[in-house]
Structure 1
Amino acid sequence: MDVYAVIMAGGAGTRLWPLSTKEKPKQVHKLVGENTLFQDAVRRVKSLVGLDNIFIVAGAGHVPELKLQEPDIPNENFIVEPSGMGTAPCIGLAAIHLESLDPKSVMIVLTADHHIGDVGSFREALLTAIEVAEKGYLVTLGIKPNEPSTGYGYIEHGHILDTEWEHDVLNVKRFTEKPDFENAARMVKSGKYSWNSGMFIWRVDRILEEFRDQMPGLSEQLGKISKAIGSHNYKKVLEESWKYVPKETIDYGIMENASNVAVIPVDIGWSDLGSWSSLMEILTADENGNVIRGNHIGVDTQNSLVYGGERIIATIGIKDLVIVDTGEALLVCNLNHDQKVREIVNRLRESNN
């Protein structure tokens, strides 16, 4: 049975503004090491499926940069979304392209903007997930929580499905929206929950079956697009059908009410890099707890993230700050308020900046 990896490479990553923008989102930046987040995502699955079986879904404006970063991925493996409509249409679009190759193939769905520290354990978990998916389950990798985070959705574990696999594989009782702190603490203490990573593994025919049952409107448009794949009018049909595609996440649109859903809890050093503070947790700090990228001179500077370029950033007597200078914009915020960066982005949009 063929196995394909689909990497969702859209999204603006607004919480990492001003570095991450609509034109150049966080996945095309070298945030953690020598590679961009997108390149790391490709390298993590290349040894499992091969470059020919890696498909990328992104907006037309991002595809040229992504092709430059991974030139060995075949051109035809880049699937263009006319506009970002959430993960459900994105995954559905990829699924119909894979259906045209092999409807019984296994589809690994990943994102281009996450960090995974333990790549070996990640690959081992994927191998188990592929085996489970071959039996008809919709599989997700659940992240073992290390704190009562209110920034992620949670997955409640049910009973163990089978003991034949290398990892624990449990059925999913329910998906829970992002909780308040009290409920998050309760769930983490119980040991019966994982964070929702947004990584999925399933057979192509199974996920398309769920689209037909749960999102018939989207399924109808996907059917029209599917018939045009490989034809001269594919782009026209895609753009016309996309006008009627609902904006929805795969979690709400499919997973919450799907049948035969399994979770594999994993500890793989995962982060969605959804804030400057989460990036700071991954990068190495100096003796004063500071994470520095760029040209910085500091006096009495503690527990701060300074991210710049060639221009000197000088700090005196500061603590718990995020300072990001891109040349086009400067961000200064309290480390504990970095989730509010999205509010700045929204205000900039309202003022057309």
Structure 2
Amino acid sequence: MKAIILAGGGGTRLWPVSRSIRPKQVVSVIGSTTLLAATFARLRKGFAAKDILVSTSEENREAVRVALPALPPANLIAEPCRRETAAAIGFALAHIARRAPDETFVTINADAYVRDVPAYHRAIRAAEAAVLAKPDRTALVGIEPTYPETGYGYMKIGRRLRLAGAGEAYEVERFVEKPDLVTAARYFQEGGYLWNPTLVVGKVRHFLGLYDKHLPEHAARLKAIAAALGRPGAEQVIRRQFSRIPPVSIDYGILEKESGLMAVKAEFGWADVGNWRTVREILARKPDDNVVRGLHVGVDSNRNLIVSSSGKLVATAGVSDMVIVETADAILVCPQDRAHDVKKLVATIKGKRGLRKYL
């Protein structure tokens, strides 16, 4: 089985620590190591280094190489430009298919937090068992929702499947990516839905066939890329073909459209390190604690996340439930319940003349 770490995102919700040149995957956000290094180390508990691939952007290739010295150089797959996760996964699968088209694979987000690593690997292997039992289908690991979240994909589970080694496996009746808040609240209230933490398990050949079925333009360009791999002029072909792939996520492009999905229900203390509010929730030891990285003095200040990387003292009075992140050249201040809006803030900065250097 091959593990594909997806490390090509921009991580804009964790600005100003996460920047275009050094996105969140290759900076320290949780603990002293980078999210990418933590993900790689976690996978090494169940995979050999030769069976782990990392998909990233060309501009972040060197940062990934430095962060993962144990990764075989041939397993670092750099996309010439960002074209979302359907293109990234297809590109990685094209590399695997050259030598092992009948191999199984799992996709892994580089920015996830996992508390129970043994349970995590059991879940991956259970999903693999489901795929080995039904090789013409794709399995998704599913997490029980804990609140109405609009940033994840939801699977409506149906009939229980009795498959050897697959644990608690189900038919997926439908997959819905990033529902609005009203819909997410309804799913949470009704029950019978699982979150998809982008743990997708399948057979390489079969999953590439889903591109023919649901994303024919992706499929055509990925085939042209696959035919060029290892040949003279491959770099030019890859750059030309990849840049013309429409940007679409694997969730919208394939998972929402595919009717043959299976879900394997699991619990391993998963969290998506997608914004500063999540960072505080992961690191807080008690509900009212301030989470502080750096130097802070506070009076009547509770439940804040305070990150200061420049050595400056951050002082607060009467401040609660806030995110305060200070770097050498930028300061972010926002309520925790607006942490998802940091992405919009970054887009606003991007549109301001003279401010791109802060991205």
TM range (shorter): over 0.9
Distance in 2, matches of 1:200 and 1:166, equals 14
> What is the match of residue 313 of structure 1?
314
Asked whether the 8 Å contact 2:129–2:164 carries over to 1, the reply is no
Tell whether 2:188 aligns with 1:175: no
> What is the match of residue 332 of structure 2?
331
SS at match of 2:238: helix
SS at match of 1:175: strand
Runs of 4+ in 1 over 6 A off after TM superposition: none
Map 1:155-304 onto structure 2 (within 5 A).
Answer: 155-285=155-285, 288-304=288-304
The number of residue pairs the alignment matches comes to: 351
SS at match of 2:185: helix
Distance in 2, matches of 1:197 and 1:109, equals 10
Look up the equivalent residue of 2:292 and give its one-letter code: I
Asked whether the 8 Å contact 1:108–1:201 carries over to 2, the reply is yes
> What is the match of residue 130 of structure 1?
128
Map 1:79-90 onto structure 2 (within 5 A).
Answer: 79-90=77-88
Change over 3 Å in CA distance of 1:232–1:47 after alignment to 2? farther
Post-superposition shift, 1:97?
A: 0.3
Distance in 2, matches of 1:133 and 1:168, equals 14
Asked whether the 8 Å contact 1:291–1:305 carries over to 2, the reply is yes
The CA deviation string for residues 46-99 of structure 1, in whole angstroms up to 9 with x for no partner, is 232200111111111111111111111111111110111111011000011000
Asked whether the 8 Å contact 1:141–1:196 carries over to 2, the reply is yes
Change over 3 Å in CA distance of 1:60–1:181 after alignment to 2? closer
Look up the equivalent residue of 2:255 and give its one-letter code: M
> What is the match of residue 16 of structure 1?
14
Look up the equivalent residue of 2:254 and give its one-letter code: I
Asked whether the 8 Å contact 1:39–1:69 carries over to 2, the reply is yes
The CA deviation string for residues 236-274 of structure 1, in whole angstroms up to 9 with x for no partner, is 110111232111111111112224211112222111112
Asked whether the 8 Å contact 2:103–2:203 carries over to 1, the reply is yes
TM-score by length of 1: 0.95
Distance in 2, matches of 1:182 and 1:217, equals 34
Change over 3 Å in CA distance of 1:50–1:116 after alignment to 2? same
Distance in 1, matches of 2:10 and 2:180, equals 25
> What is the match of residue 7 of structure 1?
5
User: Of 68, 72, 75, which aligns to 2:73?
Assistant: 75
Distance in 1, matches of 2:71 and 2:149, equals 36
TM-score by length of 2: 0.94
Unmatched segments (≥5 aa) in structure 2:
none
Tell whether 2:47 aligns with 1:30: no
Tell whether 2:43 aligns with 1:45: yes
Asked whether the 8 Å contact 2:113–2:271 carries over to 1, the reply is yes
Look up the equivalent residue of 2:249 and give its one-letter code: T
Map 1:144-155 onto structure 2 (within 5 A).
Answer: 144-155=144-155
